[in-house]
């Protein structure tokens, strides 16, 4: 909090700092960020950098905090949607389908192309009253796609 | 031109699965697949930056009224598939690309090619790609890989993002080949002809000239305000409005999406600008026009500015910054980059006009 307001008060100073940083950003091979990234755990990425002689060469990076953080923001958003769906299912305003759809980061059109159901059909299935009456074979289609059993599909959070 | 310092992994011992194939790790999947496949079938002059440049890969666009994963639809490169097609056309290489409705046929025809010892590229979705870390598995369907061999039910795969060969079983491969959603691959597989002749230096030169001309056209001449170099300024102006229009929470996710498109796997950093800089340097060996080196430096500078902008954006989405002035600063950075790239590509266009 304090840090944030300080930064705002000393905005020109902050700009100056960034400008100093700029000078160093003509990245050299040994300056390639080697932060912890999700991909870095399985493979280092190829990056292109200008070497001492001004010529481009390739080097590997295990990650960069700036983009790891960007990926985290995207996943926070996914988590937020899953949580909102869970609440809706728990208080009976949506069928469990919504929860699994968000969990698999799908939207109506992706879900529709995987299952072959029309979008408006899926919209109906999202209503708890309609979902309860769905025949076994339709539930099976959803369950297979979401990689859960039919029991789990009906009761995602246990009895 | 000896700068092909990709990581080449000669596979374990002779006779091991995939032993006849040299795996190439690359920054971007489509460049990587293009380069590795062409190498395999006989064209060793091509490198990742050359494939990217001859295929006129550099671009910028923010599609208005369109959303991807609930954020702005931004791309730093041309349409998927074009790089391979254009590079092959320039080098006089025949290309076969097939889509399937039948899963069985798609797998059978791939198997037939593998049985004949012919590595083949596939377009796949990453959501079910088993060897990818969970964090990267969104519904993104324009990933490319090469299937190099099959043993029993196991397919040996050369994915340019990975450091070594990986495997998938037939169920898993079929599932990613038939992923659904935007850009659904529909079992797509593609490959160049067999036993290709090494292109002459003249052919390389012509390919480079065409590639550069086409890229100048894409960056400078696209009508509308949101594509090419001016599209960067369009995004810059939009960003200044994001705080008021979307609220802090949403604006943060938008900025994070911009940075992901710019820096995520496949761009080689700085939204492909560094790969393009490398291309211009390598092109100079075939087309000794000194302006190429000068423009290469300008594009590199622009790539550095993209990375600075990413740092500014991260300040906002991490919550360290967040005033309107911070958004204005971010917007101004993009407007500045837009001008830089306009200038660079205008110079490049003039330089290339002069060569015959």
* Residue A3 confidence (pLDDT) above 90: no
Please indicate whether, in this complex, the C-beta atoms of B314 and A21 are within 8 angstroms of each other. Answer: no
pLDDT higher at A135 or A39:
A135
Task: Look at residue A94 and give its three-state secondary structure.
Answer: coil
Domain parsing of chain B, residue ranges:
201-354
A20–chain B Cβ distance below 8 A for any pair: no
The mean pLDDT value for A77-92 works out to 94
How far, CA to CA in Å, does A1 sit from each of A7, A15, B30, B161? Answer: 10, 19, 44, 40
Q: Is the confidence at residue B226, as pLDDT, over 70?
A: yes
CA angle, residues B193, B194, B195, in degrees to nearest 5: 125
- Pick from A72, A42, A67: nearest CA to B271: A67
pTM, rounded to two decimals: 0.86
Round to whole Å and give the CA distance between B209 and A106: 43
Confidence of residue A159 (pLDDT cuts 50, 70, 90): low
Which chain A residue lies closest to B258 (C-alpha atoms)?
A70
Top CATH class, B201-354? mainly alpha
Interface contact A50, partner B, CB < 8 A? yes
Residue B122: C-alpha distances to residues A136, B90, B143, B231 (Å): 35, 21, 8, 31
pLDDT for B182 equals: 83
Which of A43, A71, A109 is closest, CB to CB, to B135? Answer: A71
Give B325-343 pLDDT, tens digit per residue. Answer: 999 999 999 999 999 999 9
Alpha-carbon distance B273 to B14, whole Å?
38
Give the residue among B106, B101, B110, B54 at the shortest CA–CA distance from B82: B54
pLDDT tier, B264 (very low <50, low <70, confident <90, very high otherwise)? confident
Flag if A48 and B263 touch (Cβ within 8 Å): no
Neighbour count for residue B323 (Cβ, 10 Å): 14
Contact across the interface for A56 and B274, Cβ inside 8 Å = yes
Average pLDDT over residues B251-267: 88
> What confidence tens digit (pLDDT) does each residue in B46-56 have?
999 999 999 99
In this complex, is the C-beta atom of B6 within 8 Å of any C-beta atom belonging to chain A? yes
At A17-59, the pLDDT tens digits run: 444 444 444 566 777 788 777 666 677 888 888 888 889 998 8
Exposed / middle / buried, residue A158 (Cβ in 10 Å: 0-12, 13-18, 19+) = exposed
Task: Please give the share of chain B, as a percent, with pLDDT higher than 90.
Answer: 78
Interchain contact, A47 vs B318, CB within 8 Å? no
- Give the fold, CATH level 3, of A68-154: 434 Repressor (Amino-terminal Domain) (1.10.260)
Cα distance from A88 to chain B (closest Cα, Å)?
20
Question: pLDDT tens-digit profile of B88-146?
Answer: 999 999 999 999 999 999 999 999 999 999 999 999 999 999 999 888 888 889 899 99
pLDDT reported for residue A9: 37
Strands B143-151 and B154-158: antiparallel
Type and span of the H or E element at B71: strand B71-77
CB contact under 8 A, A48 and B253: no
* pLDDT tens digit sequence for B7-23: 444 444 445 777 789 99
Q: Identify whether the C-beta of residue A11 lies closer than 8 Å to the C-beta of residue A39.
A: no
Domain ranges in chain A are 68-154
Best probe of the B interface among A29, A67, A103, A116, by most B CBs < 10 A, is A67
Residues of B in contact with A42 (CB under 8 A): 131-133, 162
Q: What is the predicted pLDDT for the residue at A19? A: 43
pLDDT at res. A80: 93
Query: DSSP class of residue B221?
Result: T
**A113-128 mean pLDDT:** 95
Does B163 contact chain A (CB < 8 Å)? yes
């Amino acid at each position: 909090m304090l840090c944030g307001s300080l930064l705002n008060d000393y905005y020109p100073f902050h700009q100056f700092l960034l400008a100093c940083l700029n000078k160093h950003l003509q990245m050299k091979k040994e300056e390639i960020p080697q932060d912890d990234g999700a991909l870095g755990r399985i493979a280092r990425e190829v990056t292109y950098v200008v070497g001492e002689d001004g010529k481009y060469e390739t080097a590997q990076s295990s990650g960069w905090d700036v983009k790891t953080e960007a990926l985290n923001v995207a996943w926070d958003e996914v988590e937020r949607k899953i949580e909102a769906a869970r609440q809706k299912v728990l208080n009976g305003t949506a069928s469990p389908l919504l929860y699994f759809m968000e969990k698999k980061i799908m939207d109506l059109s992706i879900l529709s192309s995987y299952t072959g159901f029309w979008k408006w059909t899926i919209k109906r299935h999202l209503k708890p009253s309609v979902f309860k009456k769905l025949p076994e074979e339709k539930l099976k289609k959803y369950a297979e796609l979401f990689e859960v059993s039919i029991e789990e599909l009906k009761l995602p959070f246990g009895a | 031109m000896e700068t092909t310092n990709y990581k080449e992994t000669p596979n374990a011992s002779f006779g091991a699965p995939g032993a006849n194939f040299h795996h190439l790790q690359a920054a971007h999947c489509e460049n990587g697949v293009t380069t590795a496949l062409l190498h395999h079938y006989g064209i060793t002059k091509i490198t990742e930056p050359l494939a990217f440049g001859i295929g006129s890969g550099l671009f910028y666009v923010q599609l208005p009224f369109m959303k991807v994963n609930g954020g702005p639809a931004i791309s730093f490169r041309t349409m998927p598939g074009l790089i391979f097609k254009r590079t092959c056309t320039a080098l006089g290489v025949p290309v076969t690309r097939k889509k399937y409705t039948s899963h069985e046929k798609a797998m059978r025809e791939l198997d037939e090619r593998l049985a004949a010892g012919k590595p083949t590229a596939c377009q796949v979705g990453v959501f079910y790609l088993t060897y990818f870390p969970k964090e990267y598995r969104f519904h993104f369907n324009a990933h490319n890989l090469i299937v190099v061999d099959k043993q029993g039910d196991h397919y040996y795969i050369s994915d340019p993002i990975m450091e070594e060969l990986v495997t998938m079983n037939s169920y898993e491969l079929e599932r990613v080949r038939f992923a659904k959603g935007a850009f659904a691959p529909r079992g797509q597989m593609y490959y160049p002809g067999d036993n290709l002749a090494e292109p002459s230096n003249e052919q390389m030169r012509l390919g480079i000239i065409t590639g550069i001309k086409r890229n100048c056209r894409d960056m400078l001449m696209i009508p509308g305000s949101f594509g090419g170099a001016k599209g960067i300024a369009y995004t810059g102006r939009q960003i200044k409005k994001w705080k008021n229009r979307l609220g802090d929470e949403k604006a943060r996710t938008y900025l994070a999406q911009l940075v992901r498109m710019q820096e995520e796997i496949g761009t080689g950093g700085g939204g492909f600008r560094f790969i393009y800089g490398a291309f211009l340097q390598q092109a100079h060996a075939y087309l000794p026009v000194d302006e190429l080196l000068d423009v290469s430096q300008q594009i590199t500078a622009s790539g550095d500015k993209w990375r600075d902008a990413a740092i500014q954006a991260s300040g906002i989405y991490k919550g360290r910054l967040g005033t309107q002035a911070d958004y204005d600063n971010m917007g101004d950075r993009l407007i500045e980059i837009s001008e830089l790239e306009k200038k660079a590509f205008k110079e490049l266009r003039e330089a290339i006009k002069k060569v015959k």
